[in-house]
Structure 1
């Protein structure tokens, strides 16, 4: 039998193979309208008395089921709508699990969210050993929890602690991990997946499963007291990491608690919590990020212009940034890359950094030695310009010196082809100024990465006035291949991310000079939702880097970017942060836990910490600067949309994701309210808090950025 998305075939072995293949989609996703189709499939299975078993598989070449279609959550108007959606799903999966026949899920490719919940309702799970096969329940990343029985079935299968770890982190298991953990029963080559799945039919209907637990874990999960210890510790850890800003983790813990009782009551609680979370502002914000990044994957950054293919790349500079850029070019983009440095030492450091990362994967058995060696062969080094004639893009990552960058442009144009793109990784110098030395300015573009390059997801693609659309489209595509989410921004000092970060950091420095304790200030901004506080960030980035950027921004954009005098005093005392082990915090401390403050820094600054302000006052003073500057960037056309501004702030500097980005946060706060806050501080501290004209206009007209 066949429906639009499902086909059931019964062979001579009397095994019904259900194949899911959603038409017109590259991946299967679960949708509410499938309910009737699944009903027909189950009725067909129940009508056949001759069947020996059922195998559920996918008709897609590289995926099982990638999860539920997130759009159907947006279509729900009330919590009751969501509750009904979840309970309808429970009913169908309960029927699948209660079929009198053994049911086996044959899984190849991503099996995530609702896809794994469907597989958990089967008796057995056989998976392919392919690198694309991953299993997980990542709903927490969207501010929700598994709403198809995952919080109840997974703990019964692998235990409480392991289930909490999977659901609270949203981690995805590779095939070997899934078998080891007990999520899957067998791992086989993709070519024999279906026949291997059919062999499990002979084992009959699966009886109740007891998780395979060892040692302390087994002792803790065996008693109510022990289980409460696990739940209490999980909640404590969650609150420490999220500062209570994300409601989903605590709800997941409550649902897993209920899994120790009967299935039906646990499913009802899961549906209720799922419904409440879907309607929460935190989930709405996180889902907006998902939709935004999905849209951006389809965009070229230059309208209808198609990118040229990048087949060879070169990186100028083998330092921390250059080595990181070479790493993602070779390892993620799989583009051969040549590292040019003035010394063999620089090249060795860049190659050595990637070797260490890959060798660690070999030791953890995440890749073979042959795969490591093949990846390393994609990276080569040189102290001259050999091999540059045929490169399609050169990424420059040398020191922030305009004269040096001008020389790099001339060198590249003198050795490469007329079409080679010159992408500069400058963090502050306007791209137009760098392009002044170019004979082909249309090929010059900014490609600003964030440190550490291998981990930070954002890349700013900066076009100056003469950059061609072709150069923009090709550079955007290149950044995507490197695993980045690129946003196209227009040329100006600081571009977008550093421009909105600078006044935030300056205000933090001002608060310290007013006597606010360093660790208290950092904790206030972490409590607000940033991954680290501003002082910690300055230590990590480099105090000298901050001191270098501020005068450039002040010269280009005005006095509101003037940095407090603190920078000069710190640099005079040779405090650069982590890079020389001397900054605001102690880097050589042997104490456990967070690094303690280097108390001597207060003497250098000539202040005595007193701590008069509340956490909310400190965080507000810093954050409103960022919001105000983001609005200016949108008004000036530095960013193309509020969406790009939100993604840039979240992925570039860790603006709290649960707030959805600066512009969604302004909408939630209300432009009128933000203007009132800024004017209040302006009256007290001066014009650095003056609200932008565009923001004032929006407040007067009652408009929002996402109207």
Structure 2
């Protein structure tokens, strides 16, 4: 039986500057480390809600006597809160028990908006689901630029926002933005918001740098309390003219993305329709009833398996590197051209502000690669993933040269697909003996390392060609030493992306799986029919979009001649091909277990949570057994 990971609210008084009074700061923590296999997000179950309720009791009493001027809630490390404890919720079999817990959640959270003094949410880290709803109940919100994600993803998990979001979001953001947040993003490869995007949508009143974020938030709160800072709110009545179009768009999203196969988005649409005119209590009651209904559906339990897999598989993988053996990385070199190497270098710039030195012998090629790298930084800025200031810092961290001597001080050298053996050997001779080489591209790591003086310093890395979700980073040890493997693994881990060890293999394993499925589809169906063929699966990324991406990347090829009509067995044919390929990858040691294939397709937004991992679905549907007796799934 799953036990609750209890979140404890720890209150303390903070005297604000400029005579603004005393603020009661409530820090949410669960006593577990913020990183590593033991990490658990800050969530709420019955005991955690009771503890927060008791703290708010005392806060309300002190506010009434004038002891405190405000209340604020914040988190620890990179975590604000992810809301309900879903692992605990999975064990709820009694619907009445589910209703009680759901009701308790919004009863406690709403108190933050009903205190006798102003309330603030200092969103220091990830604010997802009920965690974001908690922040919405507060009167004011600051948000750290370092927060990993902000989202209301409940529909992608087979649920609906049940702790106030369905009522609060339309009144704060307007119905059209709420449709984007509650339906469009969860149904579009489970898209999450960056802090800049969340602020631009109106979810935060001010965006602050992560350095001294709490101090900056306290200073901002003092300005609000003393009247030096005012926050303008759009009156909810102003949004009245948006509702018809917003609800029509929501209905189209639900139909287009789910084809009636998933109940949660339809229930979320019904809540939004109700929120247009119904009073608060009616909407909150409807939300708790809808969520209680969904808790017992197979879609929710499959979603929970998928969610837990994305959280736990990579950190607990049996072949994960021992990052305690990693050497420090203060600068990275990039040799060779090719999109994969550029993407990884841009990722290090964006996530870590890591200095990158580009080295290509040909001056024109060196200038072109440097320009493309700067262009990727500009794309991150335009997409709101980094600020203008950070984009300038990233661009300032890019240097270039045509002689390998420029790599002398780098700790890691990334070899793109265009780096030939001669350039690799020259680079190896220019760097220290501790420098790690990371090969990014289609060749197996052992093949790339064969001509090196010290082949044990090279690790293979694969980045999937994804549409929207970043996917997992694949790491192939091949013959790398413990220190090289650990250094490469630790560098990837610092980006926040999931890291999955794989056996040495040509190309990216996730792209091979996607290519297998889509290639088999194209054998039996015209390209324009792919989305219709796959409609029963309600895939988060339309297969036609994925196919175009893989065709452009040269990972997928159109059959010759292409089919002119769709075969009745097109979908079963493609799923059978996928089952066989997963079985082969596991048998060959490229994947340690079928769950690795599940994680790859879930993390890249290619497979829906409501079906669980791909291999459990292949088992349940009988596809695995029909594929020559293959049984790729782990959950029998």
TM-score for both structures, normalised by structure 1: 0.74
Q: Distance in 2 between matches of 1:338 and 1:10?
A: 45
Which residue does the alignment assign to 1:17? 24
SS at the partner of 2:159?
A: coil
Which residue does the alignment assign to 2:106? 90
Which residue does the alignment assign to 2:96? 80
Alignment RMSD: 3.9
Q: Distance in 2 between matches of 1:190 and 1:443?
A: 41
Which residue does the alignment assign to 2:616? 664
Flag the 1:44–1:243 CA change in 2: closer, same or farther, 3 A: same
Which residue does the alignment assign to 1:706? 635
Flag the 1:462–1:153 CA change in 2: closer, same or farther, 3 A: same
Which residue does the alignment assign to 1:375? 394
Alignment of 1:551-562 (within 5 A): none
Shift of 1:256: 1.9
Q: 1:517 aligns with which of 503, 526, 547?
A: 526
Which residue does the alignment assign to 1:419? 434
Which one is further off, 9-18 or 234-243?
9-18
Flag the 1:79–1:380 CA change in 2: closer, same or farther, 3 A: farther
Which residue does the alignment assign to 1:250? 266
Which residue does the alignment assign to 1:443? 457
- Which has the higher Rg, Structure 1 or Structure 2? 1
Flag the 1:349–1:156 CA change in 2: closer, same or farther, 3 A: same
SS at the partner of 1:439?
A: coil
User: Is the contact between residue 109 and residue 137 of structure 2 (CA under 8 Å) also seen in structure 1?
Assistant: yes
Flag the 1:336–1:196 CA change in 2: closer, same or farther, 3 A: closer
Shift of 1:273: 1.5
- Correspondence 1:674 to 2:623: yes
Q: Distance in 1 between matches of 2:460 and 2:160?
A: 40
Q: Distance in 2 between matches of 1:10 and 1:482?
A: 33
Q: Distance in 2 between matches of 1:345 and 1:455?
A: 33
Shift of 1:621: 0.3
Shift of 1:261: 0.8
Shift of 1:311: 2.2
Q: 1:487 aligns with which of 489, 500, 504?
A: 500
Which residue does the alignment assign to 1:558? none
Shift of 1:86: 0.3
User: Is the contact between residue 521 and residue 618 of structure 1 (CA under 8 Å) also seen in structure 2?
Assistant: no
SS at the partner of 1:609?
A: coil
Which residue does the alignment assign to 2:37? none
Q: Distance in 2 between matches of 1:384 and 1:523?
A: 53
Flag the 1:473–1:281 CA change in 2: closer, same or farther, 3 A: farther
User: Is the contact between residue 195 and residue 207 of structure 2 (CA under 8 Å) also seen in structure 1?
Assistant: yes
Q: Distance in 2 between matches of 1:78 and 1:91?
A: 20
User: Is the contact between residue 105 and residue 163 of structure 2 (CA under 8 Å) also seen in structure 1?
Assistant: yes
Q: Distance in 2 between matches of 1:177 and 1:359?
A: 16
SS at the partner of 1:387?
A: helix
User: Is the contact between residue 628 and residue 691 of structure 1 (CA under 8 Å) also seen in structure 2?
Assistant: no
Which one is further off, 4-13 or 250-259?
4-13
Alignment of 1:383-462 (within 5 A): 383-399=402-418, 405-427=420-442, 429-451=443-465, 456-462=470-476
Q: Distance in 2 between matches of 1:43 and 1:522?
A: 53
Shift of 1:476: 1.9
SS at the partner of 2:405?
A: coil
Shift of 1:433: 3.2
Which string of whole-angstrom CA distances, capped at 9 and with x for unpartnered residues, describes residues 365-424 of structure 1?
A: 87665432321122222333222233332222225xxxx744444333333333333322
Which string of whole-angstrom CA distances, capped at 9 and with x for unpartnered residues, describes residues 95-124 of structure 1?
A: 55455x2341242413443233234334x2
Size of the alignment, in residue pairs? 600
Q: Distance in 2 between matches of 1:59 and 1:508?
A: 46
- Correspondence 1:353 to 2:372: yes
Shift of 1:540: 3.3
Q: 1:609 aligns with which of 553, 557, 564?
A: 564
Q: Distance in 2 between matches of 1:116 and 1:639?
A: 36
Which one is further off, 234-243 or 40-49?
40-49
Which string of whole-angstrom CA distances, capped at 9 and with x for unpartnered residues, describes residues 499-521 of structure 1?
A: 4345434423432xxxx433124
Shift of 1:155: 2.1
Flag the 1:628–1:59 CA change in 2: closer, same or farther, 3 A: closer
SS at the partner of 2:235?
A: coil
Q: Distance in 2 between matches of 1:133 and 1:650?
A: 19
SS at the partner of 1:5?
A: strand
Which residue does the alignment assign to 1:648? 600
Which string of whole-angstrom CA distances, capped at 9 and with x for unpartnered residues, describes residues 218-259 of structure 1?
A: 4244xxxx3xx4313211123223444543322212112222
Shift of 1:666: 2.9
Alignment of 1:559-598 (within 5 A): none
User: Is the contact between residue 586 and residue 594 of structure 2 (CA under 8 Å) also seen in structure 1?
Assistant: yes
Q: Distance in 2 between matches of 1:415 and 1:504?
A: 43
- Correspondence 1:496 to 2:520: no
Which residue does the alignment assign to 1:333? 352
Which string of whole-angstrom CA distances, capped at 9 and with x for unpartnered residues, describes residues 9-47 of structure 1?
A: 598988672523435245754332123323433443565
Shift of 1:531: 5.5
TM-score for both structures, normalised by structure 2: 0.81
Gapped regions of structure 2 (runs ≥ 5)? 1-6, 35-40, 228-232
Flag the 1:277–1:343 CA change in 2: closer, same or farther, 3 A: farther
Which residue does the alignment assign to 1:313? 332
Shift of 1:609: 1.9
Which residue does the alignment assign to 2:176? 161
Flag the structure with more relative contact order, 1 or 2, with Cα contacts below 8 A and sequence separation at least 6.
Answer: 2
Which residue does the alignment assign to 1:594? none
